[in-house]
Amino acid sequence: MPAFVVAAVVGVLFFLGYRYYSSYLARKVYALDPAFVTPAHEFDDGNDFVPTNKHVLFGHHFTSVAGAAPIVGPAIAVFWGWGPALTWIVLGTIFAAGVHDFGALAVSVRHKAKSIGTLAGDVINGRARMLFLAIIFFLLTLVNAVFAVVIGNLFVAQPGAVIPIVAEIPLAIAIGVYIYRTRSSALIPSIVGVIVLYALILVGNEYPITLDGLADALGVEQTRNVWVVLLFAYTWVASRIPVWVLLQPRDYINSHQLFIALGVIGLGLIIGLNQIQAPAINDVPEGSPSFFPFLFITIACGAISGFHSLVSSGTTSKQLDKETDARYVGYMGAVGEGSLATGAVLAATAGVAASQAEWEALYPDFATASGGAVGNFVAGTAEFANNIGIPLELAGVFAAVVVISFAATTMDTGVRLQRYVIQEIGELIKVRVLARNLTVATTLAVVIPLAMALIPGDGEAGYTFGVLWQLFGTTNQLTAGLALSVIAVWVTRRGRNAVAILVPLVFLLAMTTWALILNLRNFVEDEQWVLAPLDALIFVLALWLMVEAAIALRAAYRERPPVPVDGAGTGEPDAVAQANSGVGTSTAGPIEGPAGSPRR
């Protein structure tokens, strides 16, 4: 089947999901009201809280959620065939991610733009905040571990990418310093930066750099592990320098690369008329993990990602001009990420191979599929780039540079965020050195994922990456589960039908716990004494989440008002508070933002 036909069908389904399902959510579930005074207006300070045009805000939101993660999961998951992978991406985006991203934004806006971690404490109970911290800690640990492995693998597979990627660091610093000193537009310098970066692909391709010799000298079995150590040493430094020096200018370069990559995939698909070579449902070898439940944790970002609730409730909710904009910004953000995941599926099924036999050679078993997934995406994207006239060898390095640029920025920011989480945990458990000492917090934020990337799996590349990726997917889905629990409790307390939220919540929790149990059994049988306790710990968090969600939902259901509560912005002051007067202050929900006063 031609890949562009599949892309067109997915596009139509996403359009229908946005047109009809998000409209239902906006009217019946979240009861959005255009007259509601959003926190952006209530606390309007020109810094964090600014009423922002919905198209401007969508740009911010989309670039904060789209990156390397929705590429890797789908590229692994096509192991089960393109049918299950694409079905989960489409259904997940429409019925889970859209509900989740949109819901987190809508609930946060009704609660003074508080973040999901704080809302978990407010809407569920105080323990939920500790649970949130624990889940986020594991999520960030695994994010940093898997992306270090992704970059390490790509450096080994595409040594031509080393020079451009290393040169991108001083290039970004030069751009940052230039903009800071001259206070000029970043557009021209960053476009020049992208041109220099891509010109360096020629140099990198001419002078590929490998660390095989160093690995041999050090007695390290896998060269990838040497790269992993170097990468964490780099992030230790990078995560401590101001954002404007390196992170922000590199993000300018990445923002160009995101659109260039999407354009190359889209154009290459149409011009090349590539056929999907993977089977719709793959007859996987005996002993492989079954797609129930593992597909649903292998593709997290791209179908539903808990991390989006942090973006929705962290920065986006502070800038929402009208409450009704939440539908466009939140739901479309999920659709955007689903589209990127669809592109990854097509690259790994249509671009990467010219025949089914060729494709099957790339995906013979789950370990090989996991270890080679990113390489397969890179090769598929290179083929699409080749369709538009870029030589295949250079196109491969180009695709690797794009993925590594995203993954490296993910690590920089991930380590930075993990430092905050460690400091927060230090304060909660009253360990002053964790809370106050940046060096200690940063070192811990680096050493734990470094150990995760190096220790498990006896160095078997595909196995290690495959299981780490699954554990990352699990923690991401648990974050989504926590956010969906908060949204479901909030909707139930308003007497509205929460089925649209409960279905993805129950499905996600069932899939994650099922996968955790199966993996725990495998880890114990394989005597994986790093992965088994980690899996057990995450399993405990999943059980904890289920108990908290069940208790909170039961209480919410008992206390729900007899008549569903409309949105507050009816022109009458605090209609929600009046409608909930019999509910009691301990549970319902926290006071919502003011209504009735005119928006500016």
Stretch 428-447 residues interacting with other proteins (CB under 8 A): 435-436
Nearer to other proteins, 127 or 288 (CB): 127
* Distance, C-alpha 577 to centroid of its chain: 35
Q: Indicate which single residue of 9, 35, 60, 360 sits in contact with other proteins (rule: CB under 8 A).
A: 60
Min CB(46)–other proteins separation in Å: 3
Min CB(189)–other proteins separation in Å: 11
Binders in 130-169 for other proteins, by CB under 8 A: 136, 139, 143
Min CB(519)–other proteins separation in Å: 20
Cβ atoms of residues 294 and 467 within 8 Å: no
Nearer to other proteins, 185 or 206 (CB): 185
User: What b/e string do you get for 134-170 counting C-beta neighbours within 10 Å, with b at 16 or more?
Assistant: bbbbbbbbbbbbbbbbbbbbbbbbbbbbbbbbebbee
Binders in 172-231 for other proteins, by CB under 8 A: 176, 179-180, 182-188
Binders in 290-319 for other proteins, by CB under 8 A: 301, 305, 307-308, 310-311, 314-315
> Which of 256-263's residues contact partners 24+ apart within 8 Å by CB, and which partners?
256/190, 256/191, 256/194, 257/194, 257/401, 257/402, 257/405, 257/406, 258/63, 258/66, 258/406, 260/194, 260/402, 261/381, 261/399, 261/402, 262/340, 262/343
Count of positions on this chain that bind other proteins (CB under 8 A): 79
Nearer to other proteins, 299 or 353 (CB): 299
Binders in 33-52 for other proteins, by CB under 8 A: 44-48, 50, 52
Min CB(291)–other proteins separation in Å: 22
CA 580, CA 117: separation in Å to the nearest integer?
24
Helix (H, G, I), strand (E, B) or coil at 224: helix
Binders in 316-355 for other proteins, by CB under 8 A: 337
* Distance, C-alpha 522 to centroid of its chain: 27
CA 72, CA 79: separation in Å to the nearest integer?
12
Min CB(188)–other proteins separation in Å: 7
Q: Match 């190096």 to its residue by tokens.
A: 454
Sign of the torsion angle spanned by Cα atoms 253, 254, 257, 258: negative
Min CB(115)–other proteins separation in Å: 5
Cβ atoms of residues 336 and 93 within 8 Å: no
Binders in 450-479 for other proteins, by CB under 8 A: 476
Q: One symbol per residue from 535 to 574: x for binding other proteins (CB under 8 A), - otherwise; what is it?
A: ----------------------------------------
Nearer to other proteins, 136 or 395 (CB): 136
Q: One symbol per residue from 64 to 83: x for binding other proteins (CB under 8 A), - otherwise; what is it?
A: xxxxxxx-------------
Q: Indicate which single residue of 165, 265, 347, 417 sits in contact with other proteins (rule: CB under 8 A).
A: 417
Nearer to other proteins, 81 or 414 (CB): 414
Binders in 240-279 for other proteins, by CB under 8 A: 242-244, 247-248, 250-252, 254-255, 258-259
CA 398, CA 400: separation in Å to the nearest integer?
5
Taking residue 36's Cβ as centre, other Cβ atoms within 10 Å add up to 26
Binders in 391-410 for other proteins, by CB under 8 A: 406-410
Residue 412 as a binder of other proteins (CB under 8 A): the answer is: yes
Nearer to other proteins, 432 or 558 (CB): 432
Min CB(333)–other proteins separation in Å: 10
Based on C-alpha coordinates, what's the Rg of the chain? Answer: 24
CA 408, CA 68: separation in Å to the nearest integer?
9
> Is the link from the previous residue into 504 a cis peptide, with omega within 30 of 0?
no
CA 306, CA 116: separation in Å to the nearest integer?
10
Amino acid at 596: G
Taking residue 376's Cβ as centre, other Cβ atoms within 10 Å add up to 23
Structural tokens at position 460 = 């078997």
Nearer to other proteins, 478 or 579 (CB): 478
